[in-house]
Structure 1
Amino acid sequence: MIAQYKQTGLAWIWLALLVLIADQVSKIAVLQSFQLYDSVKITEFFNLTYVRNYGAAFSFLADSGGWQRWFFTLIAVVAVVLLSYWLAKTPKKQIWLVIGFNLILGGAAGNLYDRVAYGYVVDFLDFTIPLYGRWPAFNIADMGIVIGAACVLIDAFIHQNKQQANENKT
């Protein structure tokens, strides 16, 4: 059983746990040090600003009356279960896919914990982008999800190129 586990994407589950722990430790630090909407300027383009996100990405559906908390909680639970299943079925050698799934899993678990424990997601990384303006605040879990999705896309391109190369050989 252990030998089989070591051959799957679950061998990298430590990466999901690392994202989850870093996310929760950073959010606890924010909750203990900031009042809602408190902000500390770090650079000209970066602040630490405590905000609550009751919706999804970019506060989608944030002011929808409360039902969205349970809707996004359900989506996160399904994502955690599916990602765990896929990791158990994915060979460890598909490194980009395994890293991507684990980063997404850790991020989904971090934001899931917030929704269950607080009823909202704690966001605090606040950037201003030249020629754009303020980017919506986010957190370490969100970074795990975005970087993980990029890894999954890289894996898809790698496998597409390998498949095309194999088709060209035949």
Structure 2
Amino acid sequence: MSSRPNALIWLLASLVLLGLDQWSKVWAIHALQSVGSVAVIPGWLNWTLAYNPGAAFSFLDNGQSWPRWLFVILAIGISGFLIRWLWRTPRRDWRTALPLAMIIGGALGNAIDRLHGSVVVDFIHVHYHQWNYPIFNVADCGITVGAVLLLLFGLRSRPGT
């Protein structure tokens, strides 16, 4: 076992993202339940309440309960793998730690939704004219931005680290 500090402290960033995600979903349910959708930037961005029983873009939304448990198990398993990765990562390596923490927070945020209500609460709706991007949430942002940063930082050469 190494005596150097590991990056587990970055799990605090996961907790912050998880807290923002859960708070924003509670806000969305209360603020949008009766109105459905509110224009934030007309023609571009709406807050639109949606419930997603499937995965990304409602993948595997087949009305059965097994996808719910599959996604919860995947989120917990992947988060466990990423936490182990953080444990093996030096604390100063923020280019690895931050993206991992974002993915963990996002994965657990959506898993909590599935455990609590069997669906994920989505509310961020980006659109332009007839084009609509699938509605998403703060947890999805954490997963996506974390994965992109992990790829970008991983592709960059880091001499001396």
Q: Distance in 1 between matches of 2:109 and 2:68?
A: 15
TM-score for both structures, normalised by structure 1: 0.85
Q: Distance in 2 between matches of 1:98 and 1:30?
A: 29
Listed one character per residue, the Cα deviations across residues 11-53 of structure 1 (whole Å, up to 9, x for unaligned) are 2221111100000000011122222881111122110001011
Alignment of 1:35 with 2:30, yes or no, is no
- 1:118 is matched with 117
- Structure 2: any 5+ residue segments left out of the alignment? none
Alignment of 1:72 with 2:64, yes or no, is no
Listed one character per residue, the Cα deviations across residues 64-111 of structure 1 (whole Å, up to 9, x for unaligned) are 422111111111110121111111111122221110000001101100
The aligned runs of 1:2-151 (5 Å cut-off) are: 7-35=5-33, 38-43=36-41, 44-129=43-128, 133-151=131-149
Which region of structure 1 is more displaced relative to structure 2, 60-69 or 119-128?
60-69
Offset at residue 133 of structure 1 (A): 0.4
Q: Distance in 2 between matches of 1:13 and 1:36?
A: 36
Q: Distance in 1 between matches of 2:95 and 2:58?
A: 29
RMSD between aligned residues: 2.2
The structure having more radius of gyration, on CA atoms, is: 1
Q: Distance in 1 between matches of 2:131 and 2:44?
A: 9
TM-score for both structures, normalised by structure 2: 0.89
- Structure 1: any 5+ residue segments left out of the alignment? 164-170
Name the structure with the higher helix share: 1
